[in-house]
Amino acid sequence: MLLRYLFCGGAVPELPEVETVRRGLNRLTLNQKIQGGEVLLDRTIAHPIFVSEFLFGLAETAIAQWHRRGKYLIAELVQDAVAEQSSLFPVPCSLSTTPAGYLGVHLRMTGQLLWVDAAEPVQKHTRVRLFFQGDRELRFVDQRTFGQLWWVPPNYHPEQIITGLQALGPEPFSAGFSVDYFYQQFHSRQRPIKNALLDQRIVAGLGNIYADEALFLSGIHPQTLCSTLTHNQVKLLHSTTLKVLQDSIDANGTTFSSFRSVEGINGNYGGKAWVYGRDGKRCRICETVIERLKMAGRSAHFCPQCQN
């Protein structure tokens, strides 16, 4: 079975797409020993400095669980350890697991993780191969080469090595992401709301697609200044943000070019989008033509009638 996640076509994977990847990896890659690896592009490895140290750190470990933080994937690594045997009560030694650090992955723009048979020909743009028991491989494929991998030693917390984690705001579905928190982030900011929603320091994982969708459902124009939003508007934006993220997770994300879930199913949210990628088409609510404008180097899609 091939686990394939491809992101391209100008879009960047956001929380729902990365969450879909995480769930697929947890279904397929857990508790299987990493027996070795190969790095085909050295700069893909963000830590350690030496590729040999990266591969040595992963060797003979197994993935206990994949986690997601914002748009980062973090694999919790463990290693078998022989339990101490008491001389007073001689019994067969049992195996336990000990922490063995973490494997961090950021897909950036075009990263793929492929879970494949080792006999499958190596795909073009393959950057890293990890060899698992049972003749399986986890391959990192990245056409644009912006993606990164980290090995975090067991005596470090991931945030100490993957420094981008330090700047992330709360997760959207966490207790820390409350309406009051959201309002406090906006009420004194003199910047457009669309730009603020893309700030990972305010909320982790939200990006261009779902910011556009949440603003549409809230009836807020993307150029509206944060400081002009009322508490009720922010409350509505908070709920619509959670709604569009959950809807997309349920639909296995958005297909940018050739996105497949672990079962080989396309991400389905794109066909349900209200405004994202629909410039020139009619609004699903009022029939007004959807427009697009550039804001801080990113596209903003909106309905001029429904959002004002």
Instruction: Tell me what the pLDDT averaged over the chain comes to.
Output: 88
Q: CATH homologous superfamily of domain 15-166?
A: MutM-like, N-terminal (3.20.190.10)
Cα 44 to Cα 20, 52, 133, 209, 300, distances in angstroms: 22, 13, 24, 26, 31
Cα 191–194–198 angle (5° rounding)?
100
Q: What is the pLDDT of residue 12?
A: 75
Residue 143 has pLDDT above 50, yes or no: yes
Exposure string for 74-99, b = 16+ CB within 10 A, e = fewer: bbbbbbeeeeeeeeeeeeeeeeeeee
Largest distance between two CA atoms of the chain: 82
- Is 128:141 a contact under the CB 8 Å cutoff? no
Residues 41-100 pLDDT 10s: 999 999 999 999 999 999 999 999 999 999 999 999 999 864 444 444 444 444 568 999
Which DSSP state fits 37?
E
- Distance, in Å, from the CA atom of 257 to the CA atom of 260, rounded to the nearest integer, reads 10
CATH number of 179-252+271-302: 1.10.8.50
Single pTM value for the model: 0.88
Q: Where are the domains of the chain?
A: 15-166, 179-252+271-302
Q: What is the pLDDT of residue 272?
A: 83
Instruction: Give the pair of three-digit tokens for residue 241.
Output: 């943000």
Q: What is the pLDDT of residue 254?
A: 64
Cite the active site residues: 13-14, 71, 298
Instruction: Give the pair of three-digit tokens for residue 172.
Output: 């959207």
